[in-house]
Amino acid sequence: MLRFALTRILMSVPTLLIVSVSVFGLIRLIPGDPASLMLGDLATPASIADLQARLGLDQSLPVQFGIWFGNLLKGDLGQSISSQQAVLPLILSRFWISAQIVLVAVLLASLVAVPAGVIAAWKQDSSLDLSLVAVATLLLSIPTFWLGLLLLLFFGLKLEWLPVVGYVSIAENPVAGILYLIMPIMTLFLHEIGVILRMARASTLEVLRLDYITHARAKGLTESAVLWNHAFKNAFGPTWTLIGLVLGNLLGGIAVVETVFTIPGLGRLLVDSIFARDYPVIQGCMLFVAFTYVLVNLVIDLCYPIFDPRVSAQ
Amino acid sequence: MKLPAPNALVGGTLIGFLGIVAAISSVWTPFDPLKLSFRAKLAAPSAMHWLGTDEFGRDVLSRLMAGAATSVWISLLTVALAVSLGTVIGLFSGYVRGWVDRTIMAFNDALLAFPGILLALGLLAVVGANKYGIILALGIAYAPSVARIVRGTVLSLREREFISASRVMGNSEGFTMARHILPNCIAPLTVLATSMFGWVLLAESSLSFLGLGVPPPAPTWGNMLAGSRPYIGQAVWLGIFPGLAISLTLLGINLLGDALRDKLDPRMRGAR
Amino acid sequence: MNRLLASAFALLALASPAAAQSITVAVAADIRSNNPGVNRDDNTDDFALQLVEGLVGYNEGGVATPLLAEKVDLSADGKTYTFTLRQGVKFHNGAELSSADVLWSWNRYMDPKTDWRCTSEFDGRSGLKVEEATAPDPRTFVMKIDKPNALFLDTLARTDCAMTAILHKDSVKADGSWDKPIGTGPYKFGEWKRGEYFTMTAFEGYKSPKDGGKADGYVGSKRPLLKDVKFLIVKDPATVKAGLLSGALDLAEILPSDAAELKKNPKLSVAAEPNAVRHVFLIQVKDAVMGNQKLRQAIAAALDMDEIVAAFYNDLGKPNTSPIYSGSSYFGEVEKKGLSFDPARAKKLLQEAGYKGEKIVILANKRPIVPSFPAAVVAQQMLQAVGVNAEIEVLDWATQLDRYNKGNYQMQSFSFSARFDPAIAFEQFSGPKDKQPRKVWDNPEAQKQIDKLFVTSDRAERQTIVDELHKRVIDEVPMIFAFNGLDIIAHAKRIQGFKPWQSKLRMWEVTLAN
């Protein structure tokens, strides 16, 4: 187990290497540069050149990469071009905000959607199954920015239960902090129910068709025992993998929800810095998201054998 | 002759209807979907404009019909690209294992770890912001999830008796792969592919919302939905109709996908 | 549940005792820094100029007028400026303003290590050089420039130079690094939570340049009548609207499409004022197709500006096809006569031009607060109506700006930022393309006239030059000016005395009823 974990961590090193090189290359393929963005439409070539030199953008790409990578090995992700803050603390403070939203939303969604998916599969083609699938599909097909706005209009404006704009951190004021997080979490929660329910249903259907379920039934076990002891436990494996994928993707894709609810999270930081061509922040964010992703999937894989005894940890 | 399953029936009807609408729109729409009309800005649904007009006075029904063809086409091609790319990588990687697998998966994970928006923005900037750019960008962004799922299935199947049996019987690796492993990937893949169809429709919309330069002036359901957001208070039909169109299409695709899987999966026959 | 939430809100309200005298303003972006004129953008300048002041500042009409100076005297040879400081002006830390502070601030700005945005405007690299700056006595500050320049004071007052603001030397730490702005402005720097909000509080010891309660650009009466102002960063216009309706926001710039709806709300007022931003269709005349002047004239005649304005501003805006903004004192009868919509003439010109349906791509971006995309959509439709094969390509702003700087486009739906003086307004887009690819208008004869605008102080002579340049632009069509920007601000009715001016949210002379 420990050896497996260590191997996996070592294996993630090339992944992160590939990420850092390709991010560095990719963002510089995108036209536009931070210096001219900062100076706007009045920039003279001289003032752009001055600023580029000051930002170290006048050097050749390999040199720039070398400097950045050298600092990275020392644990220094550099400084933001637009806000001149150190990148790592910036990312960590934003990450914490995004993480609490994503984790709570996915946890709640799994608690609802996995049992619902299993039940839908169990009662396949019944009206219950059809309506669960219909609800899941509907939830899945509403874009989060649209859903978020509907919630905002309803709970914020119409009922005036929840604050409409702004953000207060939980550390500062726990009650207000939670109030500000309810709607973003609800938005993601509703969306992810759709994703996870369908996957759980599909995995359970797979398992229900396998021979050992038939055996179990033939052995005279009650339906609920078959469902719980065999079907549910086995269906959980693939669903578990999917939850890992969902978690990883959400950290990158949460930008939309954060924009709607004015949450200063990691997703918005990334999108903002893409628009501002703030290279050090983009690089830092991407590397960080990749790192988190690898970590989440490692944990998922380490847990896999617990749910699916057929796959042994190698 | 049995009646088709209810999911096939409902799904087939929805998708059939979509196909017909898309086909009709290529020859006829009630109005020109690009024609502006300043006197009819944000008009509510009426006898003339069944689904109302948008902020430029363009007919929503016509745009919805024209958008059907574009959106479906983009989604289909993207899914096809992602699935074929991902399946090949996943099958190969899962089957050969060892260092080749590890290397491929390192690349795969690196790609997976890119949030889709950045990959899309980067690739769109390189290939140009048009629908082929979107297909390429999203196709590449989604392929790694396919690869991972296919590889997962392959890994778990390897331990099963019938695969060992096939090997013991002296079948070649290639034959085993094609005969026994690929068919078993179809079920999870159908589910993933149908989900992905929805993701693409939505991703296109979210990209528009974030202003990442995807939207052409020609209508797609995604950019209609994203563009409707500022008018939610005054013209709710602008978002409801493309939203409904996306939802119904997804419902149809998913039901059809389920039915298709039941038919394709050999173990399903006579199981019920 | 409802009651629980309600009591939670009561707690929230208790937590901020100053709630009654403070207001919350939504802004679309965070400030880049609190270091005036150094790491900046328009949004940053707006905040900085509530906190700091320069010797001279713009008045309502965009003319540089004494602010911290009581008066400015110019020597007969036009090269020596003598600033006499106002008496009794205090910095936020209580220290009294003297010419030593002015000299210290000036020397700091001219030190390359400061990275002031405008150093190159005064060190000779852009044609103007300050040769000497001295402080002969505590109330007098003297600057000598190398040759007469009609725009010297104007350049000092520029908002992107942060008005060449005078700072107290405690604004920087002992090691010379930046700490926080200690200026003489009506508000003091409060707190800055990056990515969330920034605040300012009233400066009790503020000495207003004028009394009487009438705001006048950056001069005039500037009393800080609000206790606290919190600028909250809200990116999504739909969220801004919801915040205004719920009362969480007191004041914000809104989308033109929301103006009519918000006006109807009994709790809100909507104010709209034109500014000096010029929305424009840029044309690259070096392009093989666009080099044809007849074709460009055809395009100009094909555009119905009333409807292009209406596409974004509804009934709030008016077309202005002159490079001079409509609020300028130089905007006269000649400037009012610009392009006219004439589709028949457009078709005729297209024929004369020998146009054969070559594709013309208009670049646009979808930032919500600029009309780039809607203007392009409407223009494309009008061009297609007369037979021009126009297409739109949507880019993100950074990419479009890059194409602008490289001159790599056929047409762009673009906006020129506000410039008040006509000399600078023309200089913004004209010059040699081979040296500066971003320049749109490359006409050596016109350039000579523009250069003359920079040195001529005579008002009538300047007007004549401006009129001629305007006519040239209309005839040559190196680009098509469409309309000026509008600041559309919605605010709670209880806020009184607020007037939008040049996209700046001036918080002085603003009061809160109740």
Contacts of A196 in chain B (CB under 8 A): none
- What is the spatial distance between Cα A113 and Cα B54, in angstroms, rounded to a whole number? 37
**Starting from the edge strand earliest in sequence, which strands make up the sheet with C187-193, in order?**
C187-193, C197-202, C228-233, C22-27, C251-253, C479-492, C268-283, C411-416, C360-365, C390-395
Alpha carbon of C318: minimum distance to chain B alpha carbons (Å)? 16
Chain B's closest residue to A246, CA to CA, is B145
CB contacts under 8 A, B 232-261 vs A, are: 232-233, 239, 243, 246-247, 250-251, 254-255, 258
Identify the residue among C30, C246, C427 best suited for mutation to test binding to A, counting A beta carbons within 10 A and taking the highest.
Answer: C246
ipTM associated with this complex? 0.79
Instruction: Give me the residue label for tokens 């007022």.
Output: C269
Under 8 Å between Cβ of A120 and A201: yes
Find, among C206, C190, C264, C153, the residue nearest to C22 by Cα. Answer: C190
Contacts of B56 in chain C (CB under 8 A): 311, 374, 377-378
- With an 8 Å Cβ cutoff, are A44 and C120 in contact? yes
Alpha helix (H) residue ranges in C98-173: 99-110, 119-122, 152-157
Q: Does B42 touch chain A (CB under 8 A)?
A: no
- With an 8 Å Cβ cutoff, are B209 and A251 in contact? no
- With an 8 Å Cβ cutoff, are A176 and C26 in contact? no
- With an 8 Å Cβ cutoff, are B206 and A145 in contact? yes
Under 8 Å between Cβ of C339 and C347: no
Distances (CA, A) of C308 to B34, C281, C318, C377: 16, 11, 10, 9
- What is the spatial distance between Cα C220 and Cα C60, in angstroms, rounded to a whole number? 9
Among B106, B125, B195, the residue with its CB nearest the CB of A15 is B106
Under 8 Å between Cβ of C156 and C55: yes
- What is the spatial distance between Cα A120 and Cα C363, in angstroms, rounded to a whole number? 50
- What is the spatial distance between Cα C292 and Cα C286, in angstroms, rounded to a whole number? 9
Instruction: Write the Ramachandran bin of C78: left for phi over 0, alpha for psi from -120 to 50, otherwise beta.
Output: left
Chain A's closest residue to B228, CA to CA, is A146
Chain C's closest residue to A177, CA to CA, is C12
Under 8 Å between Cβ of A93 and A281: no
Highest mean pLDDT among A23-27, A102-106, A287-291, B95-99: A102-106
- With an 8 Å Cβ cutoff, are C248 and A262 in contact? no
Half-sphere exposure of C74 (CA within 13 A, CB side): 14
Continuous segment of H or E residues that includes residue C187: strand C187-193
How many residues can be counted in chain A? 314
- With an 8 Å Cβ cutoff, are B149 and A241 in contact? yes
Contacts of A256 in chain B (CB under 8 A): 206, 209-210
Which residues have CB under 8 Å from C183's CB, separation 6+?
C36, C51, C52, C53, C91, C92, C165, C166, C167, C168, C171
Average pLDDT of every residue of chain A: 81
Res A251: pLDDT? 66
Contacts of A146 in chain B (CB under 8 A): 225, 229, 239, 243
Residue of higher predicted confidence among C148 and A205 = C148
Contacting partners of chain C (3+ CB pairs under 8 A)? A, B
- With an 8 Å Cβ cutoff, are B213 and C258 in contact? no
Under 8 Å between Cβ of A46 and C125: yes
Going by the DSSP 8-state scheme, the letter that residue C178 receives in this structure is: B
Alpha carbon of B170: minimum distance to chain A alpha carbons (Å)? 24
CA C109 to chain centre: 22
Res C170: pLDDT? 95
Specify the pairing of strand C360-365 against strand C22-27.
Answer: unpaired
- With an 8 Å Cβ cutoff, are A31 and C235 in contact? no
Specify the pairing of strand C251-253 against strand C360-365.
Answer: unpaired
Q: Does A19 touch chain B (CB under 8 A)?
A: yes
CB contacts under 8 A, C 258-287 vs A, are: none
B106, two tokens: 């390192």
Among A33, A39, A157, the residue with its CB nearest the CB of C246 is A157
pLDDT at residue B267 above 60? no
Res B126: pLDDT? 65
CA C311 to chain centre: 22
Among C233, C245, C402, the residue with its CB nearest the CB of A157 is C245
CB count within 10 Å of CB B240 equals: 18
CB contacts under 8 A, B 58-117 vs A, are: 102-103, 105-107, 109-110, 112-117
Contacts of A308 in chain B (CB under 8 A): 156
Find, among C10, B28, C248, the residue nearest to A175 by Cα. Answer: C10
pLDDT at residue B168 above 80? no
Q: pLDDT 10s digit of each residue in chain C, 514 long?
A: 444 444 444 444 433 434 457 899 999 889 989 999 998 888 999 999 999 999 999 998 888 999 999 999 999 999 999 999 999 999 999 999 999 999 999 999 999 889 898 888 898 887 889 999 999 999 999 999 998 998 899 999 999 899 999 999 999 999 989 999 999 999 999 999 988 899 999 999 999 998 888 899 999 999 999 999 999 998 878 889 889 998 899 999 999 888 988 999 999 999 999 999 999 999 999 999 999 999 999 999 999 999 999 888 988 999 999 999 998 889 999 999 989 999 999 999 999 999 999 999 999 988 878 899 999 999 998 999 999 999 888 888 888 999 999 999 999 999 998 888 899 899 989 999 998 899 999 999 999 999 999 888 888 999 999 999 999 999 999 999 999 999 999 999 999 999 999 999 999 999 998 6
Classify residue C137 by burial, with Cβ atoms within 10 Å: 0-12, 13-18, 19+. exposed
Which residues have CB under 8 Å from C165's CB, separation 6+?
C36, C37, C48, C49, C52, C53, C54, C105, C181, C183
- What is the spatial distance between Cα A138 and Cα A129, in angstroms, rounded to a whole number? 14
- Interface contacts (A, C; CB < 8 Å): 135
Distances (CA, A) of C223 to B39, C93, C204, C207: 46, 18, 9, 8
Q: Does A200 touch chain B (CB under 8 A)?
A: no
Contacts of C378 in chain B (CB under 8 A): 36, 56
Confidence of residue A249 (pLDDT cuts 50, 70, 90): low
Under 8 Å between Cβ of A223 and A143: no
Q: Is the pTM of this model over 0.95?
A: no
Distances (CA, A) of C113 to A206, A269, C107, C171, C176: 68, 29, 11, 15, 10
Alpha helix (H) residue ranges in C407-485: 422-427, 444-455, 459-476
Strand partners, C210: C221
Is residue C290 helix, strand or coil? Answer: coil
Identify the residue among B14, B114, B236, B248 best suited for mutation to test binding to A, counting A beta carbons within 10 A and taking the highest.
Answer: B114
pLDDT tens, position by position, B116-161: 666 776 676 666 667 787 888 888 888 988 898 888 888 877 767 7
Q: Does C380 touch chain B (CB under 8 A)?
A: yes
Chain C's closest residue to B39, CA to CA, is C307
pLDDT tens, position by position, B223-261: 787 777 777 767 778 888 887 887 788 778 877 777 776
Half-sphere exposure of C4 (CA within 13 A, CB side): 4
Contacting partners of chain A (3+ CB pairs under 8 A)? B, C
Among C255, C377, C393, the residue with its CB nearest the CB of B230 is C255
Res C5: pLDDT? 46
- What is the spatial distance between Cα B239 and Cα B246, in angstroms, rounded to a whole number? 11
Identify the residue among B31, B32, B38, B53 best suited for mutation to test binding to C, counting C beta carbons within 10 A and taking the highest.
Answer: B38
Alpha helix (H) residue ranges in C79-118: 99-110
Q: What is the largest CA-CA distance in chain A?
A: 84
CA C225 to chain centre: 25
Under 8 Å between Cβ of B16 and B256: no
- With an 8 Å Cβ cutoff, are A262 and C245 in contact? no
Under 8 Å between Cβ of B221 and B244: no
- State what percent of residues in chain A have pLDDT above 90: 8
Among C11, C239, C428, the residue with its CB nearest the CB of A41 is C428
Alpha carbon of B215: minimum distance to chain C alpha carbons (Å)? 7
- What is the spatial distance between Cα C87 and Cα B47, in angstroms, rounded to a whole number? 72
Alpha carbon of C361: minimum distance to chain B alpha carbons (Å)? 12
Alpha carbon of C395: minimum distance to chain B alpha carbons (Å)? 5
Distances (CA, A) of C66 to C56, C82, C98, C209, C220: 4, 12, 16, 9, 10
Angle at C201 between CA C56 and CA C90, to 5 degrees: 45
Distances (CA, A) of C248 to A166, C115, C201, C220: 9, 38, 19, 31
Res C8: pLDDT? 45
Q: What is the C-alpha end-to-end distance of chain C, expressed in Å?
A: 31
Identify the residue among C235, C241, C244, C257 best suited for mutation to test binding to B, counting B beta carbons within 10 A and taking the highest.
Answer: C257
Q: Does B38 touch chain C (CB under 8 A)?
A: yes
Among C12, C33, C195, the residue with its CB nearest the CB of A176 is C12
Res A312: pLDDT? 46
Specify the pairing of strand C215-216 against strand C495-496.
Answer: unpaired
Highest mean pLDDT among A206-210, B45-49, C199-203: C199-203
Res B157: pLDDT? 77
Half-sphere exposure of C198 (CA within 13 A, CB side): 22
- With an 8 Å Cβ cutoff, are A165 and C126 in contact? no
- With an 8 Å Cβ cutoff, are A31 and C417 in contact? no
- With an 8 Å Cβ cutoff, are A30 and B7 in contact? no
Angle at C406 between CA C403 and CA C412, to 5 degrees: 40
Res C10: pLDDT? 41
Res C296: pLDDT? 96
